[in-house]
Structure 1
């Protein structure tokens, strides 16, 4: 069996700002407050459907479970048997939580040096900086802080990252989002768990951000777009194939490359 693990936002699905396609070519796949917020193209949908029917397609996203289940494409059209959400913190099998993985993650959360309930208090001074606007806790596993990029102090952010790293937490500043995630909760750890329980003879992966790298390094071939963070560090992530296309053009090309090689 062959496996395709893929990040979603800015890899396979796109916002109005990032899709880089005319409105006539877009298909809305996600609504929020009666507004269209995520899209694919007909070509992406067709090629991903073919991949889904040919090998095992596993979405791997940092989205919460609720946010993932909001995407109509994966609830009505292409319904994956397995999905990884919350940056690897939750594995869904036919829509139900994988209980063995859930128990492992609970153990991770219990053993972490600085518990999630203490993050806000322990770093209240740093998180009170004016460039931190608001935050959300994702499935009781990690935080996403929204920052004002015009005001953010990168030296302060780096200092905060060092402190959090020493407490068992990884940090990623991606655009206006600052992720604070347990070091043991990664996309790669969840995908490795899946691969340990199923025999795959070929693994393809796609992603655009540093949160995807742990998953992509497990693959035989992995693809990243020109618009993502990974493409900014070609020497550091040389094993990942950079497709010199952006937005939906990347997704269409990536899916075609996989279809032509399976």
Structure 2
């Protein structure tokens, strides 16, 4: 039987581990494409980060943890795959050997219904507040939440704060990541799904019960996961950087852009038993 892994690594993907060309930053390192869309290259990692992630996945229990839908996640060829578990839809779905876990999803749907407004009610209220002068697309994701793709320059300055204030008494919240404004049930969060996968890994003897949980993410939707982890790291870019967000036990990369992704993989690797971690700013 395989020995239990000594560390659980829960990591966001977009703009944390993988990057579009527009998110590279000022550098142009040697990269490998890890996602295609309709045959066109879409997301990248540095060659060094991709190699280090493959090695990390062999030594630690790595849990990809994303707000992407199941279909969007399935496009990624994240180094270290196949994954026994993955978290998609911001925690609304857990994939077990690539397939959605129906029991988990049913529990999420029950919690959403108990928590307040339905997706249909939220979607109606949201569409009443937007128009084509600044909203490029409205989408619903995995029958769980909705998001807007917006023109940032044309978006009303007070929209996000006012919409979030309207949503919260109804059990939902709103946040922005790049050009997307997400409206999410409060019970749908990455930290709950990570805790569930951790329990399953321990029960199966695949994770040491004393193993620390390490996390990485760049957006407001990652904040709860970062705070729930034993230690975490965020890149020096993204929504949390714009908010000036900080929390005890959370490191910040020195680099920005795609080089921050490589630094995060190195930070995870340094946390493995027998490694000496270097300080991160």
Structure 1 length normalisation: TM-score?
Answer: 0.91
Number of aligned residues: 259
Paired residue for 1:184?
Answer: 187
Q: Which deviations, in whole Å up to 9, do the C-alpha atoms of 1:117-167 show, x marking residues without a partner? A: 122323443134732222111101000111221221122332221111121
Using the alignment, how far apart are the partners of 2:78 and 2:264 within structure 1? 18
Using the alignment, how far apart are the partners of 1:109 and 1:179 within structure 2? 16
Which residue of 228, 244, 247 maps to 1:218? 228
The answer for unaligned runs of 5 or more in structure 1 is none
Using the alignment, how far apart are the partners of 2:94 and 2:135 within structure 1? 30
Q: Which deviations, in whole Å up to 9, do the C-alpha atoms of 1:181-228 show, x marking residues without a partner? A: 001001111112223332352111111111111111122220111112
Paired residue for 2:256?
Answer: 246
Q: Which protein has greater RCO, CA pairs closer than 8 Å, 6+ apart?
A: 2
Q: What is the CA RMSD across the aligned residues, in angstroms?
A: 1.9
Matches within 5 A, 1:116-155: 116-128=119-131, 130-155=133-158
SS in 1 for 2:152: coil
Paired residue for 1:206?
Answer: 216
Q: Which deviations, in whole Å up to 9, do the C-alpha atoms of 1:36-87 show, x marking residues without a partner? A: 111112111111011100010000000000000001236xx52221100000
CA 1:126–1:86 in 2, change beyond 3 Å: closer, same or farther? same
Which residue of 52, 67, 75 maps to 1:70? 75
Matches within 5 A, 1:17-166: 17-20=22-25, 21-22=27-28, 25-73=30-78, 78-128=81-131, 130-166=133-169
Contact kept in structure 2, 1:231 and 1:242, CA below 8 Å: no
Contact kept in structure 2, 1:3 and 1:200, CA below 8 Å: no
Q: CA deviation at 1:237?
A: 2.9
Q: CA deviation at 1:35?
A: 1.3
Moved more, 241-250 or 43-52: 241-250
